[in-house]
A and B are shown apart, each in its own frame.
Chain A
Amino acid sequence: MRKLCLSIVGIFLFCFGGWSQSSSSSDDYKNLNLKVEDVNIVSGYYSQNGNHSAVTGGIGTQKLTDVSNTIDMKLVKYDILGRKHNFNIEMGLDHHTAASAQYVSTTGASRAGGTRFYPSFNWQVENEEKKTTFGLGASLSSEYTYHSYGLNILFAKKSKDENREFTAKGTLYLDAVKMLEPSELRPATTTVITSASSNGHSGGDNIPSSARNTFDASFALSQVINQRMQVAFLTDGVIQQGYLGLPFYRTYFNDGSVHIENLPGSRLKLPVGMRMNYFLGDRIILKSYYRFFMDNWGVKSHTVSLEAPFKITPFVSISPFYRYYIQTAANFFAPYGMHTSNDQYYSSDYDYAAFSSNYEGINLRLAPTNGVFGAKGFSALELRYGHYRQTTGLIANNITMNLTFK
């Protein structure tokens, strides 16, 4: 045990010894005016199908489509002390249709579409002499049945030679879940409400909400290994408290009775991950990622992914990628009609089932120096397509496009 402790102490002393290494200071001209550094537009289309909808108790269609659009703008300015200020403003809008949402009402009369709006703002100030960064941010996410307010604080420190960086971030989400219950389980006073996801549906303000609070402490350590390789170690400690289920997810017991899923009121999550990128030769990059996850609900998972960008030219690359994921079931999960009245917690949501998944696809990136398609300012175009399969039978396709303007 003593050797183990000494090894850990040794590694950290070795890591943090790098802070004292010297490097030349920068006397570059600092622009005191606020200027736009880049603008990103990300658009995505996602579709899935399966036969284990949680709305109908673990059976029934999981057909769902989602169209998402976000635009973010990064602005930069230096202050008179030479510190660099980054401002990041983002607006996002998603629209989804979920076939199962119709069955919040037993007649299938509920509306299946919904829109989510999620702006965010982040500010970071970087002291290039001290190699430190401090940041604050706020976010909002609003949809018919769910509202969320987020706050975050960040601190980062680079070593003098900028070969190592440690980042700590704390994030707090204060969420509210509207208690929209399946029609047959709903109190008679709120029977007018039939939709899980439509905006502005009459009477929606009368539905009570339950709180869900999440606190995440996130840590990352990145390290340059040599001129071709760098690694990052990532971990989060996440505590969630409040109403953690969704009120329109049904669970059928073995006696034929139907109930709203009942999940524990708190959850502790601990993911630990590592990324390693290696530039092989002049054209190929190997990007690898591994994550181990565990929580106090009984879920353990492993995630491995590998992506290999191949540079056709210095400005055009094509990247095949593959991801494998496997998880154990949560303690309270059971399929349709398998729970008993003795169960304290119960759910037939297959997101908590034991399964494995495969995700593979391809990424195309164009970033010519004279602009994409010769358009000055249009600095990069990325297209990414992936196909996802779960052993539960769920199949999904996802396509995303990212346009970058500078």
Chain B
Amino acid sequence: MKKTLLVLFGLTLMFGACTSVKPYQKSRLNDSEMQLTARKVEKTENSFQTYREASSGANGGKTGGGCGCN
């Protein structure tokens, strides 16, 4: 319960700190290194980690189907 409250408190602080950023202010956010999805060059490592570990998902990649891994 304490952990949940702590996480919620953290999220509230984070979202509370949001500022409206105009398109012309997004030069840093639009940098190719700043993208929030896994990049194409990370594809093969996401794949082998899915095979060699029991966990997958929450990273935009495969979650267990479509290949010989589970």
Contacts and interface: CB of A to CB of B under 8 A. Distances in A.
Interface in B23-70: 23, 25-26, 28-29, 31-37, 39-45, 47-49, 51-60, 63-68, 70
Given A291-B55, A400-B45, A402-B40, A245 B33 contact: no
B41 A363 contact: yes
B51 A351 contact: yes
A178 to B, nearest CB: 10
Contact of A240 (B4, B28, B65): B65
Contact of B58 (A15, A146, A236, A390): A236
A48 B43 CA distance: 17
Contact of B18 (A163, A271, A394): A163
A199 interface: no
A214 B33 contact: no
A390 B52 contact: yes
A351 to B, nearest CB: 6
A263 B70 CA distance: 11
Contacts of B4: 4
Interface residues of A, number: 105
Nearest to A390: B52
A330 interface: yes
Contact of B65 (A68, A150, A230, A390): A150
A131 interface: no
B68 A143 contact: yes
A271 B56 contact: yes
A150 B66 contact: yes
A14 B26 CA distance: 22
Nearest to B16: A14
A146 B36 contact: no
A91 interface: no
Contacts of A289: 59
Contact of A11 (B8, B47, B66): B8
Contacts of B68: 143, 145-146, 177, 246
Interface in A310-360: 311, 317, 319, 325, 327, 330, 351-352, 357, 359
Contacts of B39: 382, 402
A357 B53 contact: yes
Interface of A: 4, 7-8, 10-11, 14-15, 21, 23, 40, 42, 44, 46, 48, 66, 68, 70, 72, 116, 118, 139, 141, 143, 145-146, 148, 150, 161-163, 171-173, 175, 177, 212-214, 216, 218, 220, 222-228, 230-232, 234-236, 238, 240, 244-246, 263, 267, 269, 271-273, 275, 277, 279, 285, 287, 289, 291, 293, 295, 297, 299, 301, 303, 309, 311, 317, 319, 325, 327, 330, 351-352, 357, 359, 363, 365, 367, 380, 382-384, 386, 388, 390, 394, 396, 398, 400-402
